[in-house]
Amino acid sequence: MKTFSDKKLRRQVSKLLRERQMYFSSDPEWQLNLEGIDSMVQFFGRSTKKAKRESTTHLCSELSLCYLLLLTFTLMTLAIDNKKAATLPIQHTWLGKKRPDPNFIVRSLLTQIVNYSLAVIRLVENGLDNPARCVLRTLNELVSQTLVLLADKSQLIEYAKAHDAHHAKEVWYTLFAKKGRFKKNLSKLEQEMGIPENSLSELRALRDDMDLNFSEAVHHSYVSTVVGAYNAPAETELLNLALGGSFGERSRSTLDSLNTILVYFLHMLTHVFVNIHHFKFPTTDPFWKAAGLLAVSISKISGNEDVGAPT
């Protein structure tokens, strides 16, 4: 299958190449035509295939946990059914009359978190680590915002009022940027969840460190741009140009950060549902039951024994 396949565009390029052949070498090996373009475009497919093969081999453990976490949040998303009150983690009238059902918002936020996480994974698998770090920076912010919003009725009401880009910008500034309100609210929530003070300090430091490191990729700092243009495969210390995507050991820390963010989110989201909204995982619902069992497994794997499925 040709990647460069649009017939109209191929005809236009072919015509241009024929008209400009005089500017190319007379050596037939260096004459550009559609067949040559097709052959060169296949470079991207070959790079992706090789990167994915190496990534799945060398990052097997990290990727396995990523997909297990993704499956857990996917099951939670599918479990929320407005036709079954027992499956709703938040009372549908929590925000008041004539306001959006909070479960609709929960489901939408979880969908975005799953999709952003999947984007990070696929970029890493395809050897595109720097772009993966850009998406991860956005995901880290989305996860924290979700927790703060679902824990505070007034903030979720304000968030749901923004129906255009201009208003959304104002709401974002008010809720998340003004006077460090966002970080203060998140720390307050963590404290209310019973996280010890020494662990809170570590969490803050970890968040700040992630934001700093991944913001380098977002803002294209010199170091991030230059280092991210090369990858060192696992079996050698030689740097390879990462053009088109290639596996590098640097991706291990990217996936480790993704897993840290998602395990933290699972821990906090469970407590928000249980402690704030008094939700119990319905044992008769197959989606919630499966999500709960996976949450217990992940809590044991990650060492967070108190992140079990509520009963």
Q: What is the mean pLDDT of each run of 10 residues along the chain (311 residues)?
A: 82 87 68 84 90 93 96 96 89 90 96 98 95 95 95 92 87 80 86 81 83 86 86 71 88 94 94 94 91 92 59 42
pLDDT in the model for residue 234: 64
How many Å is the Cα radius of gyration of the chain? 24
| Torsion from C-alpha of 127, 128, 129, 133, nearest 10 degrees | -150
Q: State the amino acid at position 139 in one-letter form.
A: L
pLDDT in the model for residue 25: 64
pLDDT in the model for residue 310: 45
Q: Return the bridge partners of 241, or none.
A: 230
For residues 164 and 16, what is the distance between their CA atoms, to the nearest angstrom? 44
pLDDT in the model for residue 305: 54
pLDDT in the model for residue 237: 63
pLDDT in the model for residue 151: 94
- Cα torsion angle, 265, 270, 273, 275, sign: negative
pLDDT in the model for residue 307: 45
For residues 171 and 157, what is the distance between their CA atoms, to the nearest angstrom? 11
Q: How many residues are there in the chain?
A: 311
